[in-house]
């Protein structure tokens, strides 16, 4: 995952343009079935309109000696995203209105955007800004805004035995920022590769699109099928330090909300579960009241709560392979829990069935060996009344979901349980 991130990091992505296409082309090396969609600029999408396509070739500010004192080629964050083209000489005072820096973090370049308000500008460290002492500077932003362009997003569907879907969504609209948004991209990519190798009950739909406008466009093109989504997750900020943070869906008690809370509980890792908030990433669009889809958001330290956020410090060194792997394992485990969550009926409900003669119980009584396994069997038998799913049992029994699923499979195998449709 980190090797893939190293390839993607130098690319200047935005909400439209060749950076997104280049990114998706690399992802297709890992996911050959990934489909790339182009939606023309000017296309209505719910209450929005697909914007003009933005591309940039080069940008710089030169001093009187002709030296590049701000250079897009050195870092993609140096240019205000969606800057309109500009060429000419500007006084230091005029240039000042188009510079963005952070006095509180003077050695970092900020990430700034102006998607829907025409503007141009440069982002630089505050130390660089204070060194601009010439009276005049030559400025060039070699960019284009094409009203006949398009918005690009990627979509991968892994068909299961059921038409019911699990939606996995991540955004691909940031330039050289490793945790935001490349960590979500690479975790989603490797999750899709893993799920593709396994038998699946659900159909999994992966969406790789630009933030906000991408999910809005995707929703506008799937109005007749979003009702098939039973579970969903937005992946972001999964490679940095800090505890796992899960933000509940608008429903708060959807199966994905309950499953993630249980898995974090049982993993015994530092974590926090936060209630729904109509601000954040693309879960805002999926959970808007007209859709109200069961889509939560998984991250580590949330956006805006770590000093590297939206700065040049969110680099490849900030994200470690170990943190990416831990995130991938958690999301894989969630998918397995959702796959295995069934409601069963106990076929021997009158009294406790004899498990020993069915090979499910320990041979010698009185000790505590295999206590969790025994309790899992008993909890599943007792609450399999057609009203309790395995998630419900896990919440009440305080036992791990995978263990309860294993117990249910074993009990079904000896004819004591029947899965309900």
Annotated binding site for Zn(2+): 174, 180, 310
Q: Which tokens is 15 given? A: 């909400």
Per DSSP, the residues of 199-231 read --SSEEEEEEE-TTHHHHHHHHT-TTTGGGEEE
> Tell me, what DSSP letter sits at residue 51?
P
Distances, alpha carbon 63 to alpha carbons 84, 107, 133, 166, 298, in Å: 21, 21, 9, 54, 45
Query: How far is Cα 192 from Cα 21, in angstroms, rounded to an integer?
Result: 19
Contact by Cβ (8 Å): 125, 54 = no
Transcribe 185-207 into DSSP letters: HHHHHHHHHHHHTS--SSEEEEE
Which segments are annotated as binding site? 174, 180, 310
- Please state whether 173 falls in left (phi above 0), alpha (psi between -120 and 50) or beta: alpha
**Residue 353: DSSP 8-state:** -
CA angle 63, 66, 72 (to 5 degrees): 75
Q: How many angstroms separate the CA atoms of 71 and 42, rounded?
A: 32
233 in Cβ contact with 295 (< 8 Å): yes
Q: Answer whether 67's CB lies under 8 Å from 100's CB.
A: no
Interatomic CA distance for residues 115 and 83, integer angstroms: 8
Residue 221 tokens read as 């093109």
Whole-angstrom distance, CA of residue 209 vs CA of residue 232: 15
| 4 closest CA partner among 19, 32, 37, 26 | 26
């Amino acid at each position: 995952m980190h090797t893939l991130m190293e390839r993607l990091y130098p690319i200047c992505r935005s909400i439209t343009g060749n950076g997104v296409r280049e990114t998706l082309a690399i992802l297709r090396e890992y996911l050959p079935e990934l489909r790339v969609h182009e939606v023309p600029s000017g296309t209505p999408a719910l209450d929005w309109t697909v914007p003009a396509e933005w591309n940039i070739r080069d940008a710089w500010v030169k001093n009187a000696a002709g030296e590049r004192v701000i250079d897009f080629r050195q870092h993609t964050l140096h240019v205000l995203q969606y800057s309109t083209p500009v060429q000419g000489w500007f006084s230091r005072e005029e240039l000042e209105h188009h510079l963005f820096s952070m006095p509180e973090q003077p050695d970092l370049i900020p990430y700034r955007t102006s998607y829907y308000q025409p503007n141009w500008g440069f982002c630089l460290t505050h130390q660089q800004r204070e060194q601009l002492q010439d009276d005049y500077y030559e400025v060039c932003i070699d960019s284009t805004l094409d009203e006949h362009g398009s918005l690009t997003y990627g979509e991968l569907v892994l068909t299961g035995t059921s038409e019911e879907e699990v939606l996995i969504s991540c955004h691909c609209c940031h330039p050289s920022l490793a945790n935001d948004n490349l960590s979500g991209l690479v975790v989603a990519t490797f999750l899709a590769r893993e799920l593709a190798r396994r038998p699946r009950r659900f159909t999994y739909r992966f969406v790789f699109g630009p933030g906000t406008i991408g999910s809005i466009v995707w929703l506008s093109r799937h109005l007749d099928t979003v009702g098939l989504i039973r579970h969903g997750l937005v992946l972001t900020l999964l490679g940095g330090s800090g505890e796992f943070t899960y933000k509940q869906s608008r429903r708060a008690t959807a199966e994905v909300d309950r499953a993630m809370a249980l898995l974090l509980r049982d993993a015994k890792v530092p974590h926090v579960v936060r209630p729904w908030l109509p601000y954040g990433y693309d879960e805002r669009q999926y959970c808007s009241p007209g859709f109200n889809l069961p889509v939560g958001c998984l991250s580590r330290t949330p956006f805006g709560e770590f000093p590297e956020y939206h700065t040049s410090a969110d680099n490849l060194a900030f994200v470690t392979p170990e943190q990416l792997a831990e995130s991938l394992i958690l999301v894989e485990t969630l998918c397995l829990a959702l796959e295995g969550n069934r409601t069963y009926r106990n076929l021997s409900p009158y009294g406790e069935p004899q498990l020993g003669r069915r090979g499910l119980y320990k041979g010698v009584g009185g000790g505590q060996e295999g206590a969790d396994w025994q309790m899992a069997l008993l909890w599943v038998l007792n609450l399999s009344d057609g009203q309790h799913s395995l998630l419900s049992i896990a919440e009440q029994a305080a036992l791990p979901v995978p263990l309860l699923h294993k117990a249910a499979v074993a009990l079904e195998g000896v004819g004591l349980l029947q899965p309900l449709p």
